A and B are shown apart, each in its own frame.
Chain A
Amino acid sequence: MSSTTAMSTVTVRKLTVRHRRTAVLDAVDLDFAPGVHGLLGPNGAGKTSLIRVLATVAAPSGGQVELFGSEVGAKSGHRSRAAVRRRLGYLPQEFGYYPGFTVREFVAYVAWLKEMDAAAVPAAVELAVARVGLADRIDARVKTLSGGMVRRVGIAQAIVNDPDLLLLDEPTAGLDPEQRVEFRALIRELGSTSTVIVSTHLVEDVAAACTDVTLIEAGRIAYRGTTQELTALGGEDTGADGPDGNPIERGYTAALRAHRAAVARR
């Protein structure tokens, strides 16, 4: 296990999260190394719970969570957790903002919360905002922006500290098709140096941007593999999309059915 922790940014062992008495995540084992990882699954499968535990926002009910080699679970120390949090970027599924803030102030405020070097903040804020394509709106009030633009401000605050681990929960929600294409290019670029984990229910996001896929169903890992392997599960590419969707959508359905059949046999 020491060899895997040396390679991986994220190591999760027997992670269990309970919501009241229901197990939202059930003894999950996962490793993530630098690259772009897709987290797929039906709504309510436990994707958001996993992202929130990895973001050090929610406490696991059981198991170990190691980020950059330090434990961040309930028993972890303040110092090591603060050190981990400085290297995190997190886009929650839902977030608010202060009504008076401009885009620049919002992103700079998060940079301050992440304890970035004050001298580096102005340039880092401009770069992050430019990377999400909002350079022309940097001094606009956040409340005047459209839903898709607010989403992009959320991505800008997540990447402002150049995070080593970037957690994005449904990042493409509210983005139009052209913005999605630009966003996927951005996360591929970020994934060349950091570990990017993208939770989504859109199979095409994964196909276009992720090197591998983790399929979660009802709190368990249903499938892990590269994007190509999942596509191959969908069978021959007939060129046109059939009634069951394109190959990766068929692969997704096939993997999900195989997992459900395996669970039913148990």
Chain B
Amino acid sequence: MRGGDGMTHWHVGGELAERYAAGSVAETDAWSLEKHVETCGGCAARVSAAVRARQEAVVLLDGVRAGVLAAVAAGEAPESGPVRSNQVRFLASATGAVLNGRVRLPGSATRAGRLLWAAGPALRGAWLLALVLVAVGALALAYGAGLGAATRPLLLVIAPVLPLAGVVVSYGRHTDPLHEITAATPSGGLRLLLTRTAAVLGVSIPALTLAGAALPASAAGPGPAAWLLPGLAMTLAALALGSYVGCRTGASSVAVAWAAAVLLPAFATSPLEIGKPAAEAAKYFAGPAAQGGWAAGALVCAALLAARRRSFDHLETL
């Protein structure tokens, strides 16, 4: 292992890690090992396990780490410029590598956990607030304002639009502050879009369905879950349309089309009666035939999206 040229070719064996922990390795070999563990997570874990097996080393390293952090916090070091940054870099990475085993870092969680964390930025504050307002507002209308059974159709009509808004605010050049950076990465395309859409649906489906279930039921009206297939179909339609014109335009087109479909016929028959347009529109959800239509629409949009899956990592044309 002398020479240290094989940074990518050799790894720290168990025996070497033991000797390093015991402090019985030659100085040059120790340096090679320390350089290597800066970049190799597997070996860093092996060496840290060997060091942690010896209690006195843990105490010593905790002391070093606390000392470094205290010195930096106290602002003692800055006068020595580059030397300081080298020392801090070495100590931080060395102690960091040793402590990795105990302190769980964001990136080292389980795969599912990381996916959730990656989707996290999708759930933007303004959108979450809108979601809560709609759910709480529906309950307030039903029980506070005495609208009663007329509220559920109203909620059902609004519910499918909310995931659309969630997708718009979480992905794309116009709304994602990180977009310029993500656009240059391998996962910045459909993979990221779907992760964030899944997060949006994962939050809005339970919230809106539970709110719907808490509303007073009307005898003939649709159930609280009736919006699920329409919501899914509209979200997929927005993504499929977005593969041609961008997510923002895609989602707003679908939302506008839905608003037109709900409001125009209802207003044509009986204007200015609150709850009436929603009750009319709720017919779009009622019965197996309507639901079957939404399911078929969702499948078509999903197929189109699958066929267009590469369009999201295509380069921006100016």
Contacts and interface: CB of A to CB of B under 8 A. Distances in A.
Chain A partners chain B: yes
Interface size class of A (residues with CB under 8 A): 35 or more
A136 B108 contact: no
Nearest to A131: B89
Given A56-B315, A104-B105, A113 B92 contact: no
Contact of B93 (A57, A86, A92, A126): A126
B106 A182 contact: no
Contact of A59 (B73, B106, B182, B315): B315
A208 interface: no
A108 B184 contact: no
B316 A59 contact: yes
B177 interface: yes
Interface stretch (A36-44, A93-101, A214-222, A233-241): A93-101
A130 B180 contact: no
Contact of B108 (A113, A118, A135): A118
Contacts of A78: 310, 313
Interface in A44-67: 55-59, 61
Contacts of B313: 78, 81-82
Given A57-B316, A118-B114, A130-B93, A112 B107 contact: yes
Interface string B296-315: 00000000000000100111
B185 A125 contact: no
Interface stretch (B16-24, B39-47, B221-229): B39-47
Contacts of A182: 81-82, 85
Interface size class of B (residues with CB under 8 A): 35 or more
Contacts of B185: 85, 88, 110, 113-115
Interface string B89-119: 1001100110010000111100100100010
Interface string A231-258: 0000000000000000000000000000
14 contacts: A56-B315, A57-B184, A57-B316, A59-B315, A59-B318, A82-B186, A85-B185, A95-B181, A108-B107, A121-B41, A122-B41, A123-B37, A127-B39, A130-B93
Given A81-B313, A112-B107, 5 more contacts: A122-B96, A123-B44, A124-B39, A124-B41, A127-B93
Q: Which A-B residue pairs are the 5 nearest by beta carbons? A: A96-B177, A59-B315, A121-B107, A130-B89, A82-B186
